[in-house]
Chains A and B, each alone.
Chain A
Amino acid sequence: MEVLLFGIAKDIVGSTQMDLSEWKHPPSSVGELKDFLCSSFPEFGKLSSLAVAVNSEYAQDAVILEAGDEIAIIPPVSGG
């Protein structure tokens, strides 16, 4: 389970990706993944909107995560 990090998510984690497949209890849904991000990196908790894509599709919190899924964390960006 690979998590790609974009925008400020990359800056918060300090890396462009995370591999969750090695984990004992990887998050089972998008909602759980968000909870995990907020507890591990409190700055995620500050974001009013955070889009998550699973296998290149926008995913609501209820979407179930499976081994081999490619997940993207996409915060809003404002620069121009």
Chain B
Amino acid sequence: MNGERYIRQTILKDFGPKAQERLYKSKVLVVGAGGLGIPVLTYLNAMGIGTLGIVDGDSVSGSNLHRQVLYDETDIGQSKVQVAIRKLRAQNSSTQLISFEQFLTVENALRVIADYDLVVDASDNFPTRYLVNDACVLLGKPFIYGALHGFEGQVSVFNHNNGPTYRCLFPNMPGPDEVPDCNANGVLGVIPGIVGNLQALEAVKVLTGVGEVLSGKLLLFDGLSQNFQNIKFSLVPDNQKINELKPAYDFECTTEIKSIQTSELEQLLEMNSVQLIDVRTPKEFQGYHLEKAHHIPLSELEERKSEIDFGRPAYFICQSGIRSRKAIEKLQELNTEAELINVKGGMNNLKAYVAKY
């Protein structure tokens, strides 16, 4: 470790070389390399954390750039984890950076989290948040919670030294239609920057023992009024009595997506006016496609969205129905009024009809 590099924080009398050494020996897992994860990763990496694991299965999109400030325009379409690791490595070559190019799931959560001292929940959905909570409680790991709604943020440290957990505040996971996420509700670019930096600060405190950890307290931040408020809460001991993860956390997207069966699409194809968008790759499209399909590969969707007439229903198709669903999710972020319909099962169910149309 280069002593000169961290001199401005090691000369702090309440921090010192000892806390710096503790940071260097620490392993932190950041779940989500988005609005919250970027400031957490950037600062922990700059400050000299020893090991940073990054979990995210997403790729960079144009609508991320206003808040996910590690990414630039040339990164669009690339894996967030890969881009983040490249940039963090340039920022601090002594950090050990470990990539998990996947979302956290019931299958991988315990294995991935087990190696780390601390988890930062920088995810953007309830299923992941409840999964992080339950996995951390099972493994006895503290985790730093941060979440956003509009101009507001929440921060707390859960499961720290036998302290309260996420379920002590919010026992039950909200259903898919209860609380909108950033994609549906919007977020001002700088707000996750503030909330994520508060999480980074708590991570440093937990790891070094410096200061008072935000455990048993929920910090509420309101960006519009610049108000910070702490709410005290206690452990509900039952929430520590978890023996295993739930068999499934609801990973369905929180936005409702209309869909039709391929048989219904066949009927629609008889009509001349149907607007069908094929989001497969150019190679797949050249292989075979429906004559009435307009081709916009998923990776070019945002740049070429003006080719879609949002004034009438638009049907989306891919090979199996997964990427077309993703395409609709992306477009719903940009235009929630449009009627966007997924073709379930995709081209796999339509091969027999390709010759005909």
Name B196's closest neighbour in chain A (CB-CB). A80
Partner of B154, one of A11, A48, A77: A77
Taking a contact as CB atoms under 8 Å apart, the answer to whether A51 and B174 are in contact is no
B12 contacts chain A at the CB level, 8 A cutoff:
no
Bound: A20/B37 CA distance, A: 39
Partner of A79, one of B147, B218, B230, B231: B147
Interface stretch of the complex, out of B165-173, B267-275, B317-325: B165-173
In the complex, what residues of B have CB within 8 A of residue A16's CB?
222, 225
Which residues of chain A from 29 to 80 have a CB within 8 Å of any chain B CB? 46-49, 51, 53, 56-58, 72, 74-80
Q: How far is the CB of B65 from the nearest CB of chain A, in Å? A: 16
| Residues of B contacting A75 in the complex (Cβ-Cβ under 8 angstroms) | 179
For chain B, the count of residues having a C-beta within 8 Å of the partner chain is 46
Instruction: Given A56-B231, A79-B182, decide whether A74 and B218 contact each other with a Cβ distance below 8 A.
Output: yes
Interface string of B206-246 (1 = CB under 8 A from A): 00000000000010101001000111111000000000000
Is the C-beta of A8 less than 8 angstroms from some C-beta in chain B? yes
Q: Are A80 and B34 in contact (CB under 8 A)?
A: yes
* 8 Å CB contact of B175 from A48, A53, A58, A80: A48
CB-CB nearest in chain A for B254: A78
**Could you list some 27 contacts between A and B, CB below 8 A?**
A7-B149, A7-B152, A7-B179, A8-B179, A49-B171, A51-B231, A53-B233, A56-B229, A56-B230, A57-B231, A58-B234, A72-B220, A72-B231, A74-B154, A75-B179, A76-B126, A76-B147, A76-B170, A76-B174, A77-B149, A77-B153, A78-B147, A78-B181, A78-B254, A79-B187, A80-B34, A80-B35
Q: Which residue of B lies closest to A77 (CB)?
A: B149
Residues of B within 8 A of A (CB): 32, 34-37, 122-126, 129, 146-150, 152-154, 169-175, 177-182, 185, 187, 192, 218, 220, 222, 225, 229-234, 254
A8 to B149, CA, bound (A): 8
A residues sitting closer than 8 Å to B (CB atoms) are 6-8, 10-11, 16, 46-49, 51, 53, 56-58, 72, 74-80
- List, in ascending order, chain A residues with CB within 8 A of B126's CB: 76, 78
Shortest distance between the CB of A17 and any CB in chain B (Å): 11
Cβ contact within 8 Å between B32 and A48: no
Q: When the two chains form the complex, which single residue of A6, A76, A78, A80 contacts B192, counting CB atoms closer than 8 Å?
A: A80
Contact partners of A76 in chain B: CB under 8 A? 126, 147, 169-170, 174, 179
Contacts of A51 in B (CB 8 A): 169-170, 218, 231, 233
**Considering only CB atoms, which chain B residue lies closest to A76 in the complex?**
B170
Whether the pair A58, B177 counts as a contact (CB closer than 8 A) is no
Contact (Cβ within 8 A) A49 B170 = yes
Decide: A8 and B180 in contact? CB cutoff 8 A: yes
